[in-house]
Chains A and B, each alone.
Chain A
Amino acid sequence: MLSDSGDRHCASCRRVSRRRFLEFGAPLLGLGMADLLRLQTGAAESSRISPSKSLIVFWTHGGMSQQDTYDMKPDAPPEYRGPYQPIATSTPGVFISERFPQQARVMHHLNVVRSVYHGNGIHAPSAHWMQTGYFGPTLARNAPQKPSFGSVISRALGAQSPEMPPYVTIPKSEAFGYQGAVYLGKTYNPFEVGSDPNADDFRVPNLTLPDGLSLDNVQDRRDLLKTFDTLRRDIDASGGLSGLSDFKAQALEMVTGDRVRNAFDLSTEDPQLRDRYGRHLYGQGALLARRLVEAGTTCVTVNTGYWDHHDDLHPNLEEHLPPLDTAIATLIEDLEVRGMLNNVLIYCAGEFGRTPLINGHAGRDHWPNCFSVLLAGGGLKGGQLIGESEPRGGDVLSRPTTPHDLLATIYHTLGIPLNLHYPDSTGRPVSIVDAGKPITELL
């Protein structure tokens, strides 16, 4: 792709070394030539191989209560078990919260890992850990230190379709900034949708022209730019210049072309299906995620509001659980109907779980010693329960599972080798996940 853009420096190389790619750090050029594929072939002019699987994440920022959702403890004393009763699911012997009736219907597609732990009870470090695979920031010094899994996926796989951004966050990235690329380079930051897909006048700010600017104007600008943007690309051997040119072309195509705008246009969906997903951020976010993945985005993260329910757990969950339930269940069914379920991995997690014992404010506090996450689709088995928590849910009873194991499972499922390294800002090669193993029971 470097050679495609007229970069004589690289065109004249027989091959471009791996180190060169890693050092360059910005070679996406928007055209689906992701690192991994180049690394595998070791050639700049390799044929384009599209990543075959995508990922949709429901990030429950703040920490969702495992006892009230995927890991019910009906036999625990009342101060532990919480307000809900378990219900049976489509998988015999598996019970989940009565507020998840729709997921119960598709439980045979879902897997729950009930034995996740990492031991840190503070939001920032935990969120960093769960989303990057590394411990690091503290509450006070919370700058991100490692790239998020979405950015790693973006860099390793790129988008499946050249016009689409490879990594999108809905409605925007989580507040800590741990969904970004850090030293991988800004190229691999998520494209933030920037507005609520459930809003009546939902529009993507970045794809929406400011007042006073029409599509025709942009078309004129685009034509003029072609005339004036003639600085030779070969004067910059680093590729930054041709990279920016390619991104300008991509941005103009996104704004003026149909494909990307259509992918973001929920109004073309059948209203009945939109209703089934649910008229809320969760539902419309999930629907938008499906449309983006269909159009060629590789990783979409739906950030689902704040789950930090220290007080009044019950009314808060009443607000959050039904929409999450509808969104996930409908997404599963929709993907299945479309024959996409095996190609789209679904992951629902937050930074930690919540205390087994309900506190004095009728809430639950932070609990990192044992909590649950959901994994489905992507060719994984379904209906599996991985690991167990002890009877009151406070500790892992069997098959302890770390954030590393979860990331390893995600990367493995998407076809990203676990020994992939990227250099940090000092040039030290840093593993995308430095420990952990895929959860083989799901594969």
Chain B
Amino acid sequence: MVQSIAECSTTSWPKCPLRIVTTWCCVALSAMSLSVSLTADDGQTTSQPSLDDSSVYFGRDVVPVLTKLGCNSGGCHGKATGQNGFKLSLLGYGVPEDYESIAIEARGRRLFPADPPRSLLLQKATGEIPHGGGQRVQVGSDDYQVLLDWIVSGSPAPQRDDPTVERVTVSPQQRVLETSDSEQLLVTAHFSDGTSREVTRQAIYESNEPDVADVDQLGLLKTNHRGGLVAVMVRYGDKFDVFHGTVPFGSESSASPPALADLEKELGNHPIDRHLLAAWKRLGIEPSPPADEATFLRRVTLDVCGRLPRPKELQAYLDDSEPDKRARLIDRLLEEPGYASYFALKWADILQNRGQGYSTSKQRPGTALFSAWIRDAIAANVPYDRFAAEILTATGSQEINPPTIWYRTVRTEQEYVESVSQAFLGVRLQCAQCHHHPSEQLSQDDYYGLAAVFARVGRKGGFADAEVPTNEVIFLKPHGETIQPRTGEVMNPRPLGGPDFPVNRYTDPRRAFVDWMTSPENPYFARTMANRMWAHFFGRGIIHPIDDARSTNPPSNPELLDALTQEFVASGYDVKHLIRICANSYAYSLRSIPTESNVDDVQCFARFYPRRLKAEVLLDAVSDALGVPTKFPGIGGEFPTDTRAIDLPDEAVASHFLDVFGRPARTSACECERADAPALGQALELVSSHLIQEKLASPSGFVAELSSNGKTHEENVHAAFVRFFARPPKPDELAVAIEFVESQPELVTAYQSLLWSLLATNEFMFTH
């Protein structure tokens, strides 16, 4: 807690209202002109020079007010089409355009210099004249005054040498807070002329975890009833800063210290686990105890190979008493073909290896070719930097060099930028196509600089089919331009943040880009993959969502992510090594059942977060459990019997089951396209689909076996539970099952109903 505090003095603003926000902090809320000195608990004093220049600048002062009031938001005048003929730049990124709109457009009718309060701009905003957006500001308020002062002073146009916002700082920068606590954030804008000003009231706030702590638009942060980590983005003009809050779960004592102390001995020096432990200590959270061995086996077999463990495997694993059995299990699974198939499926989604989406199916052989290439690369454990490079720099014929197939789906400036940034850099650049990213230092120059990397990708030949050629030849053109649409400038290829790549017409800018991307110091590439793999095993990235890294969306455990990233780089981008680290980590072994202290945890991996099996994995699990493979329609016949859903070469193989359970259409590089949202259609697929009933009724399936093998019901129920859940039935489950089977006139129907009811449980459909 801050002990001492701020002196606030109003120098030239007689009406400056002071408000005591908490016992320790006082904030000058109108704060047009005041000086503040702050002493934080680290003893450092920050003094801010007062703002002597009382002029109101359009860019520095007026536009931020419009942003704060929401005038230029995407739902109002900031829309691409404006609102009712009045258009502002989205979130105020186009100051000259905004001046034009306000002061000049519509013959200047929005300002009324002769009687400034009667300006349309003000009268609309105050609701004095009917306004679709309602009243946004009160007459006489500080925000109103800024707008009025600007008009009174002759509504000066923005000039090249006007002071601009150089940076924004929030104070405090970080804080440990209790639940049901509050913290007043204080925001200072630093301007290009060396002055600074407190802009707490004009800034915009957004919490990344409102469930942990929410913030109001005056910068008052309030924690809720649960613990966790929170980052609050504070934006003023086009600059922002981030406050990091830590809210421990309950009191220190609730995370039983002996438990964490014991763990300290076990994990304290572990290169990865110690960072998890540190987070648990910091948050006063006790991890769930480790899951039993059978649960772990099921979990890791599903996560590495996308299949259920076989009963024999389970027995062998339980019988194994060597201390390194877990690590050996993971090693063994990584050598199975299923590992390559399952992770190839993931990458085929990310790389948008699409068979459908065009008018014909003539592209599908290419899709199969690329799928096989991806699977081979994963099976061979090709280093990840080389894997990415071979795709991004691919040239040649799509019939001969499969990674060029990536260029079949990804064809436009927009698709290059968005696919590459989401898949390999873990950032979402979409916003920067049209304006500054509102919560990251990414600009249109970054967007079009990255687009320029691909400006010389040439295509020729190919069988033209309804606008989209197949079997093209990808080559490097000697010329190719990307224009930044706002400035009209020709962009040189450059990485995010610049500077331009030194390329000439004889060098491939894609190669320069890949060299930049895959260098060990690159802040995006290895980290994104480390986070992606962690998310695969934990259901959530350390940065979440995994393709949305921003300073305003920080990792929940930066040290952990750094350690993973360094391990990955040091291993030479060895993906299996990365997977071993994730799957062997202490956190991955934990039970999913929450404890009193971690029930609300969704960020710190203090327990295993369950998730539904992916569509293909679920279908394979259904086929395996019921002992009847699924038939898939191919081109001119069916796929071979025993083809597994995770091995299907493209997303266009017809399967209602896969569609309702979230198989993606591969139209985006975001893994989020694979939806695991529950839906009625999924439940109906379980309840009334032919697919499941046919498997239950098959004369060669598991039901047929159970109903004719002559074993006792107890043995059969036991076998079914082990097969479906990798565990024996509990006594009450066994009793209900046996009683049910015995009560039924027909054994086949009885086992059909029994197996269906196991199949439809969440225990079957989820990893847990």
Q: A248: which B residues are within 8 A, CB to CB? A: 683, 686-687, 760
A231 near B768 (CB under 8 angstroms)? yes
Residue from B431, B660, B683 in contact with A250 in the complex, judged by beta carbons closer than 8 Å: B683
Q: A12: which B residues are within 8 A, CB to CB? A: 225-226, 599-600
Residue from A141, A221, A231 in contact with B756 in the complex, judged by beta carbons closer than 8 Å: A221
Residue from B224, B592, B676, B733 in contact with A228 in the complex, judged by beta carbons closer than 8 Å: B733
In the complex the two chains form, what is the Cα distance from A244 to B768 in whole Å?
Answer: 15
Cβ < 8 Å to A, chain B residues 725-752: 732-733, 736-737, 740, 744, 749, 752
For residue A267, CB closer than 8 A to chain B, the reply is no
B761 near A225 (CB under 8 angstroms)? yes
Q: A189: which B residues are within 8 A, CB to CB? A: 679, 681
For residue A93, CB closer than 8 A to chain B, the reply is no
Q: B592: which A residues are within 8 A, CB to CB? A: 235
Residue from B684, B737, B753 in contact with A221 in the complex, judged by beta carbons closer than 8 Å: B753
A26 near B677 (CB under 8 angstroms)? yes
In the complex the two chains form, what is the Cα distance from A217 to B745 in whole Å?
Answer: 12
Known: A20-B211, A186-B662, A431-B79. A225 touches B430 (CB 8 A): no
| Minimum C-beta distance from A138 to chain B (A) | 7
For residue A251, CB closer than 8 A to chain B, the reply is yes
For residue B766, CB closer than 8 A to chain A, the reply is yes
Segment at the B interface, from A49-57, A335-343, A364-372, A418-426: A418-426
Cβ < 8 Å to B, chain A residues 367-425: 419, 421, 425
A240 near B676 (CB under 8 angstroms)? yes
B428 near A14 (CB under 8 angstroms)? no
| Minimum C-beta distance from B630 to chain A (A) | 15
One digit per residue, 1 when the CB lies within 8 angstroms of any chain B CB and 0 when it does not, for chain A 181-204 equals 000011101010000000000000
Q: A208: which B residues are within 8 A, CB to CB? A: 688
B545 near A427 (CB under 8 angstroms)? yes
For residue A429, CB closer than 8 A to chain B, the reply is yes
Query: Chain A interface: which size bin?
Result: 35 or more
Q: A431: which B residues are within 8 A, CB to CB? A: 74-75, 79
A221 near B760 (CB under 8 angstroms)? yes
| Minimum C-beta distance from B17 to chain A (A) | 29
Known: A20-B210, A255-B687, A425-B670. A220 touches B740 (CB 8 A): yes
A16 near B683 (CB under 8 angstroms)? no
Residue from B594, B673, B683, B766 in contact with A425 in the complex, judged by beta carbons closer than 8 Å: B673
In the complex the two chains form, what is the Cα distance from A228 to B281 in whole Å?
Answer: 37
| Minimum C-beta distance from B471 to chain A (A) | 16
B468 near A14 (CB under 8 angstroms)? no
B600 near A9 (CB under 8 angstroms)? yes
| Minimum C-beta distance from A238 to chain B (A) | 8
| CB nearest to B690 among chain A residues | A210
Cβ < 8 Å to A, chain B residues 572-605: 592-594, 599-602
For residue B667, CB closer than 8 A to chain A, the reply is yes
For residue A41, CB closer than 8 A to chain B, the reply is no
Known: A207-B688, A425-B672. A224 touches B609 (CB 8 A): no
| Minimum C-beta distance from A42 to chain B (A) | 11
For residue A43, CB closer than 8 A to chain B, the reply is no
For residue B359, CB closer than 8 A to chain A, the reply is yes
Q: B79: which A residues are within 8 A, CB to CB? A: 431, 434-435
Cβ < 8 Å to B, chain A residues 15-64: 16-20, 25-26, 30
B677 near A241 (CB under 8 angstroms)? no
In the complex the two chains form, what is the Cα distance from A68 to B632 in whole Å?
Answer: 46
For residue B270, CB closer than 8 A to chain A, the reply is no
Q: B431: which A residues are within 8 A, CB to CB? A: 428
Q: A252: which B residues are within 8 A, CB to CB? A: 683, 687
| CB nearest to A191 among chain B residues | B680
In the complex the two chains form, what is the Cα distance from A187 to B661 in whole Å?
Answer: 11
Q: B599: which A residues are within 8 A, CB to CB? A: 8-9, 12, 234
| Minimum C-beta distance from B681 to chain A (A) | 7
| Minimum C-beta distance from B686 to chain A (A) | 7
Main secondary structure of the interface of B (DSSP, over half): loop
Known: A13-B211, A248-B687, A434-B79. A30 touches B680 (CB 8 A): yes
In the complex the two chains form, what is the Cα distance from A241 to B732 in whole Å?
Answer: 23
| CB nearest to A20 among chain B residues | B211
Q: A225: which B residues are within 8 A, CB to CB? A: 757, 760-761
For residue B556, CB closer than 8 A to chain A, the reply is no
For residue A139, CB closer than 8 A to chain B, the reply is yes
| CB nearest to B439 among chain A residues | A427
One digit per residue, 1 when the CB lies within 8 angstroms of any chain B CB and 0 when it does not, for chain A 218-260 equals 1011001101111110111110110111111011101100000
B679 near A247 (CB under 8 angstroms)? yes
For residue B697, CB closer than 8 A to chain A, the reply is yes
Known: A227-B733, A429-B74. A237 touches B602 (CB 8 A): yes
| CB nearest to B612 among chain A residues | A240
| Minimum C-beta distance from B84 to chain A (A) | 9
B211 near A245 (CB under 8 angstroms)? no
A186 near B226 (CB under 8 angstroms)? no
| CB nearest to B765 among chain A residues | A244
Q: A425: which B residues are within 8 A, CB to CB? A: 668, 670, 672-673
Known: A9-B599, A426-B670. A217 touches B766 (CB 8 A): no
B210 near A17 (CB under 8 angstroms)? yes
For residue A175, CB closer than 8 A to chain B, the reply is no
| CB nearest to A8 among chain B residues | B599
Q: A224: which B residues are within 8 A, CB to CB? A: 736-737, 740, 753-754, 756-757
For residue B463, CB closer than 8 A to chain A, the reply is no
For residue B611, CB closer than 8 A to chain A, the reply is yes
Most chain B CB atoms below 10 A, which of A19, A212, A425: A425
| Minimum C-beta distance from B728 to chain A (A) | 13
A185 near B675 (CB under 8 angstroms)? yes
Known: A140-B467, A185-B675, A210-B688. A434 touches B740 (CB 8 A): no
| CB nearest to B756 among chain A residues | A221
| Minimum C-beta distance from A428 to chain B (A) | 6
For residue B24, CB closer than 8 A to chain A, the reply is no
Q: A90: which B residues are within 8 A, CB to CB? A: none
For residue A209, CB closer than 8 A to chain B, the reply is yes
Cβ < 8 Å to B, chain A residues 136-171: 138-143, 165
Cβ < 8 Å to A, chain B residues 678-712: 678-684, 686-690, 693-694, 697
Known: A228-B757, A254-B684, A431-B79. A26 touches B679 (CB 8 A): yes
| Minimum C-beta distance from B12 to chain A (A) | 40
A139 near B466 (CB under 8 angstroms)? yes
Q: A217: which B residues are within 8 A, CB to CB? A: 749, 752-753
For residue B47, CB closer than 8 A to chain A, the reply is no
B753 near A251 (CB under 8 angstroms)? no
| Minimum C-beta distance from B372 to chain A (A) | 24
In the complex the two chains form, what is the Cα distance from A166 to B362 in whole Å?
Answer: 38
Q: A13: which B residues are within 8 A, CB to CB? A: 211, 224-226
Residue from B430, B602, B667, B688 in contact with A9 in the complex, judged by beta carbons closer than 8 Å: B602
| CB nearest to B689 among chain A residues | A210
Q: B610: which A residues are within 8 A, CB to CB? A: 231, 235-236, 241
Identify 20 new A-B residue pairs, CB closer than 8 A, beyond the known A12-B599, A140-B467, A224-B737.
A9-B602, A12-B226, A12-B600, A26-B678, A30-B680, A189-B681, A206-B684, A210-B693, A210-B694, A212-B697, A235-B594, A236-B766, A237-B609, A238-B609, A241-B762, A247-B678, A247-B683, A427-B428, A431-B79, A435-B79
3 closest A-B pairs by beta carbon, nearest first, are: A26-B677, A251-B683, A224-B757
Q: Name 18 A/B residue pairs within 8 A (Cβ), A-sorted.
A: A17-B210, A140-B467, A185-B679, A210-B688, A210-B690, A218-B687, A227-B733, A228-B757, A229-B757, A229-B762, A235-B610, A240-B611, A244-B683, A244-B765, A250-B683, A251-B683, A431-B79, A434-B81
